[in-house]
Amino acid sequence: MFGNMGNMAGMMKKVQKLQADMAKLQEELKGRTLEVSTGGGAVKVVVNGEKKIQSIKIAPSAVDPEDVEMLEDLVAAAVNEAMTKVDDMMSQEMGKLTGGLNLPPGML
C-alpha cells in the first residue's frame, strides 16, 4: 500500500518539475522573435513569442493607391503566418519537454 504512495509522490515531483520547466520555457519563448515576409518581401512582419507584433515593414513598391486591397491582403497574410509560426514554435518547444505527450492546453 505504501509503495503506491511513494510512486505517487515521485510522480507529483516529476509533474512539478515539468511545470516549472514549462513556465521557464514560456518566459524564454516570449523573448524570441520570428520574421515573416509575403509578396516576395513586399511586406515583412516581426512578431515575438507573445504574439505581439514588433514591426511591420512595407516596401514602397507595394504601395499602390489603385490597389490598396492587395496591400491589405499581403499584411493580413504576413500577420496570420507569423501567428501560426509562433504557435508552431511553442508546440515544438513544449513537445521537447513533454516528450510529445500532446497534453491538452492547461493540463500542466
**What CATH number is attached to the domain comprising 67?**
3.30.1310.10
Residue 104 lies in a domain: no
Give me the pLDDT at residue 25, please: 84
Q: Which amino acid is at 45?
A: V
Assess contact for 19 and 108: CB atoms under 8 A. Answer: yes
* Burial of 32 per CB tally in 10 Å (0-12, 13-18, 19+): middle
Q: How many CB atoms lie within 10 A of CB 78?
A: 25
In DSSP terms, which residues pair with 105 in a beta bridge?
none
Which of 80, 76, 79 minimizes the C-alpha distance to 68?
Answer: 76
Give me the pLDDT at residue 60, please: 96
Give me the pLDDT at residue 84, please: 96
- Convert the pLDDT of each residue in 27-76 to its tens digit: 888 889 999 999 999 999 999 999 999 999 999 999 999 999 999 999 99
The count of domains in the chain is: 1
Residue 62 lies in a domain: yes
Distance (Å, whole) CA 91 – CA 85: 10
Q: In which domain, by residue range, is 17 found?
A: 2-97
Give me the pLDDT at residue 100, please: 57
Assess contact for 15 and 22: CB atoms under 8 A. Answer: no
Residue 68 lies in a domain: yes
List helix spans (H) across the chain: 2-30, 68-98
Q: Which pTM does this prediction carry?
A: 0.71
